[in-house]
């Protein structure tokens, strides 16, 4: 089943009883050939992340062969807040000219609690363990930093991944250092201190 008329008719037959929003990425980027599927996925992920239905640019003259009104098909032409009470889910179709078909269903992370920054750890899908790195200019400051990190994650366990990334890649690594592990269930190991070092440049 290829072609706008055929595709929209099938969509209407399956989902039309409640109405559905449809869109495309081609007006934004043109025909991206082999990358057409991933560009649609990127657009869909952004829509789910921001809970906004992105507009379809240059949609001025609807195809008269597509029964938009009868099939309850809506094409957003302005940024539209996600409809209240509707599942945060997007189906992405990518049909190649040679007959290759691909389909993926994307669900919002908010639907599984990944967007929450508070609550009990068992209520949040935390994912894999994370390595927490801490450093400071003095042993006293290091103790203070590790205490702050532990207290913060106790209150916001779902922030473990973001915090681990920030500590590893967005902070200067100083002489006094320590590390801890955040387990899958949100528990944090005791920070282990490393021997303070004063690295020297040996080659430039």
Residues 133 and 181: their CA atoms lie apart, in Å, by 9
* pLDDT above 60 (res 127): yes
Confidence band of 99 (pLDDT split at 50, 70, 90) = low
Question: Which domains does the chain show, CATH number per domain?
Answer: 4-112 (3.40.47.10), 121-193 (3.30.70.3290)
* pLDDT digit string, tens, across residues 1-50: 456 777 788 888 887 777 888 888 888 888 777 777 888 899 999 999 88
**pLDDT, position 116:** 47
**pLDDT, position 124:** 44
Confidence band of 165 (pLDDT split at 50, 70, 90) = very high
Planar angle of CA 149, 193, 148, nearest 5 degrees: 15
Q: Which runs of E-coded beta strand occur in the chain?
A: 20-21, 52-53, 73-74, 80-81, 89-95, 101-107, 130-136, 176-182, 192-193
Record the pTM.
0.52
Range with the poorest average pLDDT among 41-50, 83-92, 173-182: 83-92
């Amino acid at each position: 089943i290829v072609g706008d008329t055929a595709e929209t008719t099938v969509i209407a037959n399956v989902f039309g009883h409640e109405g559905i929003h449809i869109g495309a990425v081609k007006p934004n980027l043109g025909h991206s050939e082999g990358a057409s599927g991933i560009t649609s996925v990127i657009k869909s992920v952004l829509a789910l992340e921001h809970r906004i239905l992105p507009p379809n640019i240059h949609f001025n003259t609807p195809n008269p062969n597509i029964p938009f009104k009868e099939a309850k098909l809506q094409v957003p032409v302005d940024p539209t807040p996600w409809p209240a009470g509707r599942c945060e889910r997007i189906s992405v179709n990518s049909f190649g000219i040679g007959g290759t078909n691909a389909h993926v269903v994307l669900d919002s992370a908010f639907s599984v609690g990944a967007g929450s920054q508070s609550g009990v750890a068992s209520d949040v899908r935390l994912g894999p363990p994370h390595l927490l790195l801490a450093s400071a200019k003095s042993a006293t400051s290091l103790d203070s930093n590790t205490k702050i990190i532990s207290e913060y994650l106790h209150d916001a366990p779902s922030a473990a991944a973001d915090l681990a990334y920030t500590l590893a890649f967005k902070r200067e690594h100083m002489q006094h250092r320590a590390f801890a592990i955040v387990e899958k269930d949100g528990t944090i190991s005791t920070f282990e201190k490393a021997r303070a070092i004063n690295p020297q440049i040996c080659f430039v």
